[in-house]
């Protein structure tokens, strides 16, 4: 069995000029993916789009997968920062609404890029990084639902996991279909999440669903 190639960058830039070059390379990679898809995505195309030599690109990234992993990290960092900013809203319902809006906006801002990076994220050996990011998102959601009546029925962890799965499932499916209407998607996700919370919080509703209350 072939051992996966490491996907960490060859070097982390310290000087401002090197940091600028890294930003240019990552944006060039995003642009190539959006315009040419995975079929046209390679280090030569990225270097040409960035206006640098292929040798300059390899100073930062040893191969295409390392470049892709860095682009995924850039996009995930943007998303998590927006989620944690929304979580800081004092009103918990408004905070959860803000988290939903952040997830939808991230998917719809550059839908083609988001869809292709989802595919690459599943392929690359970055599962530990994925867990770290998912844990941060779950903590943000948990802060919003802690104390809600639904958590008294199922517990905060279960409610958090369900909400995470609902948001991810609906948003990812919309991305796979190529959906571009952010407002409509956001409305559907909000209805799904708050409908779920109302259902779990209502003992009578749970009984009529055929589940026997403890």
For range 159-167, the mean pLDDT: 98
Which residues span the domain enclosing 136?
Answer: 72-208
Asked if the structure places residue 25 within a domain, the reply is no
Asked if the structure places residue 98 within a domain, the reply is yes
Is the pLDDT reported for residue 18 higher than 90?
no
Burial of 112 (0-12, 13-18, 19+ CB in 10 A): middle
**CA geometry: angle 117, 123, 124, nearest 5 deg:** 85
Q: Which token pair is 173?
A: 């499916």
Strand, coil or helix: 59: helix
Residue-wise pLDDT for 119-159, tens only, equals 999 999 998 889 999 999 999 999 999 999 999 999 999 99
Asked if the structure places residue 59 within a domain, the reply is no
Asked if the structure places residue 47 within a domain, the reply is no
Taking the CA atoms of residue 12, residue 37, residue 79 and residue 64 in that order, the dihedral angle to the nearest 10 degrees is: -20
Q: Which pLDDT score, from 0 to 100, does residue 214 have?
A: 44
Asked if the structure places residue 214 within a domain, the reply is no
DSSP letter (8 states) at residue 109: H
Q: Which token pair is 56?
A: 């300059």
Q: How far apart are CA 41 and CA 140, in angstroms?
A: 34
Q: What is the pTM of this model?
A: 0.86
Burial of 191 (0-12, 13-18, 19+ CB in 10 A): exposed
User: How much is the mean pLDDT over the chain?
Assistant: 91
Is the pLDDT reported for residue 6 higher than 80?
no
Give first-to-last CA distance, the chain, whole Å.
Answer: 49
The percentage of residues in the chain with a pLDDT greater than 90, rounded to a whole number, is 80
Alpha helices by DSSP H, the chain: 16-36, 43-50, 54-60, 64-87, 92-109, 111-123, 127-145, 149-154, 156-177, 182-201, 203-208
Q: How far apart are CA 172 and CA 170, in angstroms?
A: 6
Q: Which pLDDT score, from 0 to 100, does residue 188 have?
A: 98
Q: Which pLDDT score, from 0 to 100, does residue 1 have?
A: 41
Instruction: Specify whether the CB–CB gap between 171 and 103 falls below 8 A.
Output: yes
Q: How many domains does the chain have?
A: 1
Is the pLDDT reported for residue 5 higher than 90?
no
Asked if the structure places residue 147 within a domain, the reply is yes
Instruction: Specify whether the CB–CB gap between 213 and 149 falls below 8 A.
Output: no
Asked if the structure places residue 160 within a domain, the reply is yes
Asked if the structure places residue 144 within a domain, the reply is yes
């Amino acid at each position: 069995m072939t051992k996966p190639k490491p996907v960490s960058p060859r070097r982390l830039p310290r000087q401002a000029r090197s940091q600028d070059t890294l930003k240019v390379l990552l944006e060039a990679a995003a642009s190539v993916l959006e315009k040419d898809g995975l079929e046209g995505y390679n280090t030569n195309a990225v270097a040409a789009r960035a206006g640098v030599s292929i040798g300059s690109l390899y100073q930062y990234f040893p191969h295409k997968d390392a470049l892709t992993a860095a682009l995924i990290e850039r996009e995930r960092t943007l998303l998590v920062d927006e989620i944690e900013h929304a979580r800081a809203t004092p009103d918990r319902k408004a905070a959860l609404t803000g988290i939903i809006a952040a997830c939808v906006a991230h998917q719809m801002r550059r839908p083609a890029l988001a869809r292709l990076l989802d595919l690459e994220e599943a392929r690359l050996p970055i599962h530990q990084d994925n867990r770290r990011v998912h844990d941060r998102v779950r903590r943000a959601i948990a802060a919003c639902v802690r104390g809600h009546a639904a958590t008294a029925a199922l517990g905060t962890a279960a409610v958090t996991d369900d909400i995470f799965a609902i948001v991810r499932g609906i948003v990812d499916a919309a991305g796979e279909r190529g959906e571009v209407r952010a407002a409509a998607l956001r409305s559907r996700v909000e209805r799904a999440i708050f409908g779920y919370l109302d259902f779990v919080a209502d003992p009578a509703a749970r009984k009529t669903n055929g589940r026997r209350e403890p």
